């Protein structure tokens, strides 16, 4: 079983990395990897600066900056897994060959998610480094809790990969506007998980959605690991200890993992029945 | 058979038709192309609320969110369109047909502008209603002129990009992605472009959206004139110049690409 996993996972991760990176030379790839996330975070920096005379909290700046930087992982891993189904089915027209190869499709998707994780890590690293060097984000690498950071990162990436497999499986059965699915869920999570503002600002009726999202707890853990005591000024999850947050995130990851297993089987069967594995929507 | 201007006009109508009628047949856009930008707009609105920003700033975000519909239409449905056509095998038919490629692009632009205006209007109305945006229109005539000139310059730029994007291969995806957030940032979709300082704002004005939105903000918000980059009249004049420059450049490059396609016979090859 382990050999079957290795036979699928590593080639898929390698293939994904090639698809993401070999369209150009390394320098342009590096610029491309930096440009989008830096521009995205600069929007928030300039929004902050435009109104910073109105009595704003500097701790909020770190909250917004880090949330936006770390959210790159959500788009890359979760939405990216859904896109990889579309890439293989519609653009490279290779999904049908993958289906007849002796591999496991969920493991293949995990491998593609790993490639997205690598490109995402490059973007997150550049954004956070730029934040420390140029934008006065109060992160002190020597004071950060790195074991907690990497533990939370690993759990979060697992959860995002499970969510990506769910979206990828649903994407298999979509004929119209399939590329919007990953984007829709990523956008919704951006709003509800408190990535760039505390979810207590949401209308009271919408706040429970935020508390059901694993990303809410994941982002809180990552912020606490990087900002240390500076993150205590964000009241949303202040009552939760680190252990409680890890517990909730682990439970949600397990839940999404199980859901990914069940839904993949369901949507895979539907896609086969409807002849969607080699469908062309000409998107 | 139609020739000359008659053929030119009929080509425009024919290419605009699927863009306008297509959205009546495929209504999923109502969710995906209005709800999604609205969600993004909401996130930025809550950021300004977290920062205790003045109410006009919420309006800047709503307006910027509505205008993203046009920019996304430019990069994905204008700039990359010829590339999609090449990928689908239609580009060779476009080049062989007796109609002008310029007319095809104009049809795409007019149809796209109409369809996208509906989307932008929905986002604007929804955002204004949900977040209670305080619009104060000082000159409807100037506002109309700014919008029209911004659209003309913007779609002229889209037509120019459409021909230039034919030079790209599969990196067209990355090019489009690179033109998204960086342009949202440099054109000041969510904050006044004046914050950049004169030199950067001037350089960013090469994208018509920069001056267009700055002028629209000045004309629709009470605090607008105080955060404006240039005077509205100057911005209108620059937008008029940009319109002429982009449409002329689009015509030049399109003719060049058409010649290349005929001479080399490889421009329409989807493996390139």
Q: pLDDT tens, B205-260?
A: 999 999 999 999 999 999 888 899 999 999 999 999 999 999 999 989 988 887 88
pLDDT of residue B234: 96
Residues 6+ apart with CB under 8 A from B156: B242, B243, B245, B246, B247, B249, B250
Which of A49-63, B43-57, B250-264 is least confident?
Answer: A49-63
pLDDT in tens, B106-121: 898 888 888 888 889 9
| Whole-number pLDDT of residue B228 | 92
CB atoms B190 and A36 under 8 Å: no
| Run of H or E including A62 | helix A58-70
Number of H helices, E strands in chain B: 14, 0
Count of beta carbons in the 10 Å neighbourhood of residue A206 = 12
For residues A50-79, average pLDDT: 83
Q: Residue A274's closest CA among A263, A266, A260, A261? A: A266
Name the band, by pLDDT with cuts 50, 70 and 90, for residue A233: low
Nearest CB partner across the interface for B47, out of A36, A39, A64: A64
Query: Is pLDDT above 80 for A55?
Result: no
Asked whether B190 and B60 are in contact (CB, 8 A), the reply is yes
Share of chain A above pLDDT 70, in %: 95
Position with higher pLDDT, B262 vs B160: B160
pLDDT tens-digit profile of A145-204? 999 999 999 999 999 999 999 999 998 888 777 777 888 888 888 899 888 988 888 999
Q: Confidence band (pLDDT; 50, 70, 90) for B92? A: confident
Q: Which of B185, B188, B270 to mutate to test the interface with A (most CBs of A within 10 A)?
A: B185
C-beta of residue B28 within 8 angstroms of C-beta of residue B123:
no
In a domain, B248, yes or no: yes
> Domains in chain B: how many in total?
1
pLDDT score for A231: 63
The per-residue pLDDT for A230 is 62
Give the C-alpha separation, A182 to B141, whole Å.
Answer: 41
Question: Using CA atoms, how far apart are residues A189 and B110, in angstroms rounded to an integer?
Answer: 34
Do A175 and A281 touch, CB atoms closer than 8 A?
yes
pLDDT band at B1 (very low <50, low <70, confident <90, very high): low
- Tell me what pLDDT residue A36 has: 86
Is B72 a member of any domain? yes
In this structure, are residues B204 and B211 in contact, taking their beta carbons and an 8 Å threshold?
A: no
Q: Which residue in the block uniquely carries the two structure tokens 């910073």? A: A52
Minimum mean pLDDT among A39-48, A232-241, B108-117: which range?
A232-241
Check B48 against A51: CB less than 8 A apart.
yes
Residue B267: what pLDDT? 65
Task: Indicate whether A283 pLDDT > 70.
Answer: no
Contacts for B152 with CB less than 8 Å, ≥ 6 apart:
B239, B243, B247
- For every residue of B146-205, DSSP letters joined together read HHHHHHHHHHHHHHHHHHHGGG--TTHHHHHHHTTHHHHHHTTSSS-GGGG-HHHHHHHT
**Lowest-pLDDT range of B47-61, B158-172, B240-254:** B158-172
Q: Residue B270 domain-assigned?
A: no
**pLDDT tens across B11-32, in order?**
999 988 988 887 777 777 777 7
Give the pLDDT confidence of A113-132 residue by residue, as tens digits: 899 899 899 999 999 999 99
Q: Indicate whether B13 belongs to any domain.
A: yes
Cα angle value A66/A71/A76 (rounded, 5°): 140
Q: Does A172 touch chain B (CB under 8 A)?
A: no
Q: Is A185 near chain B, with CB under 8 Å?
A: no
A208-219 pLDDT, tens digit per residue, is 999 999 999 999
B15 occurs within a structural domain: yes
For residue B239, tell me if it sits in a domain.
yes
Judge contact between B164 and B201, C-beta under 8 A.
no
pLDDT of residue B21: 84
Rounded to whole angstroms, the Cα distance separating B57 from B258 reads 46
List CB contacts (< 8 A) between B28 and chain A.
176-177, 180
pLDDT attached to residue B56: 92
**Containing structural domain, residue B138:** 4-264
Q: Residue B172 pLDDT more than 80?
A: no
**Closest residue to A43, CB basis, from B32, B53, B185:** B185
Between A6 and B133, residue with greater pLDDT? B133
Residue A25 pLDDT level (bands cut at 50, 70, 90)? confident
The answer as to whether B269 is a domain residue is no
Nearest to A36 among B47, B181, B189 (CB): B181
How many other C-beta atoms can be found within 10 angstroms of the C-beta atom of residue A92? 12
Q: What is the C-alpha end-to-end distance of chain A, expressed in Å?
A: 37
Residue in A32, A40, A54 nearest the CB of B53: A54
Look over chain A and give the mean of its residue pLDDT values, rounded to a whole number: 88
Q: Would you say residue B74 lies in a domain? A: yes
Say what the pLDDT of residue A56 is. 57
| Banded pLDDT at B166 (limits 50, 70, 90) | confident
What are the CA-CA distances from residue B138 to residues B63, B75, B125, B131, B235 (Å)? 16, 31, 19, 21, 16
Here the tokens at position B24 are 């009546």
Q: What is the mean pLDDT of chain B?
A: 88
Strand (E) or helix (H) holding A147? helix A146-172
* pLDDT-wise least confident of A71-75, A120-124, B1-5, B183-187: B1-5
- Rounded CA gap, B6 and A275, in Å? 44
Convert A221-234 into a string of H (helix), E (strand) and C (coil): HHHHHHHHHHHHHC
| CA B167 – CA B69 distance, rounded (Å) | 25
Instruction: Verify whether the Cβ–Cβ distance B39 to A190 is below 8 Å.
Output: yes
Identify the pLDDT of residue B270.
Answer: 58
ipTM above 0.90? no
């Amino acid at each position: 079983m382990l050999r079957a996993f290795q036979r699928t996972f590593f080639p898929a991760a390698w293939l994904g990395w090639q698809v993401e990176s070999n369209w150009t030379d390394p320098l342009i790839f590096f610029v491309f990897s930096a440009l989008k996330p830096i521009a995205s975070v600069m929007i928030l920096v300039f929004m902050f600066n435009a109104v910073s005379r109105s009595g704003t909290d500097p701790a909020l700046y770190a909250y917004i900056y880090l949330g936006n930087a770390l959210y790159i992982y959500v788009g890359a891993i979760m939405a990216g897994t859904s896109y990889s189904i579309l890439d293989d089915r519609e653009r490279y027209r290779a999904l049908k060959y993958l289906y007849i190869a002796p591999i496991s499709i969920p493991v293949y998707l995990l491998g593609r998610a790993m490639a997205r994780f690598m490109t995402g890590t490059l973007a997150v690293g550049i954004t956070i480094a730029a934040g420390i060097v140029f934008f006065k984000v109060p992160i002190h690498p020597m004071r950060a809790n790195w074991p907690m950071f990497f533990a939370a990162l690993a759990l979060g990436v697992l959860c995002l990969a499970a969510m990506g497999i769910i979206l990828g499986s649903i994407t298999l059965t979509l004929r119209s506007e399939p590329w919007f699915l990953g984007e829709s869920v990523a956008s919704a999570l951006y709003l509800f998980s408190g990535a760039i503002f505390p979810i207590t600002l949401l209308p009271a009726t919408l706040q429970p959605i935020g508390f059901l999202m694993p990303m809410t707890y994941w982002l809180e853990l990552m912020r606490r690991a990087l900002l240390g005591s500076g993150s205590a000024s964000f009241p949303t999850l202040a009552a939760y200890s680190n252990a409680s947050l890890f517990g909730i995130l682990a439970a949600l990851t397990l839940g999404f993992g199980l859901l990914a297993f069940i839904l993949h089987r369901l949507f895979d069967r539907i896609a086969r029945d409807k002849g969607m594995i080699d469908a062309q929507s000409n998107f | 058979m139609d020739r000359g201007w008659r053929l030119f006009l009929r080509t425009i109508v024919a290419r605009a038709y699927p863009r306008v009628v297509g959205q009546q047949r495929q209504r999923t856009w109502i969710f995906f192309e209005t709800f999604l930008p609205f969600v993004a707009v909401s996130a930025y609105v809550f950021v300004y609320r977290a920062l205790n920003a003045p109410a006009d700033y919420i309006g800047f975000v709503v307006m910027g969110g509505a205008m993203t519909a046009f920019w996304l239409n430019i990069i994905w449905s204008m700039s990359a369109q010829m590339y999609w056509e090449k990928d689908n095998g239609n580009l060779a038919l476009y080049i062989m047909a007796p109609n002008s490629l310029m007319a095809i692009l104009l049809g795409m632009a007019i149809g796209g502008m109409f369809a996208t205006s509906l989307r932008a209007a929905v986002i604007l109305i929804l955002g204004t209603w949900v977040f209670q945006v305080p619009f104060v229109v000082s000159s409807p005539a100037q506002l109309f002129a700014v919008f029209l000139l911004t659209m003309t310059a913007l779609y002229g730029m889209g037509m120019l990009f459409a021909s230039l994007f034919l030079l790209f291969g599969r990196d067209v995806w990355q090019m489009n992605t690179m033109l998204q957030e960086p342009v949202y940032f440099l054109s000041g979709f969510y904050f006044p472009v004046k914050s950049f300082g004169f030199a950067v704002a001037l350089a960013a004005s090469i994208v018509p959206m920069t001056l267009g939105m700055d002028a629209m903000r000045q004309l629709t918000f009470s605090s607008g004139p105080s955060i404006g980059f240039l005077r509205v009249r100057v911005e209108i004049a620059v937008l008029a110049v940009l319109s002429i420059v982009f449409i002329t450049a689009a015509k030049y490059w399109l003719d060049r690409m058409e010649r290349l396609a005929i001479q080399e016979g490889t421009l329409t090859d989807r493996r390139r």
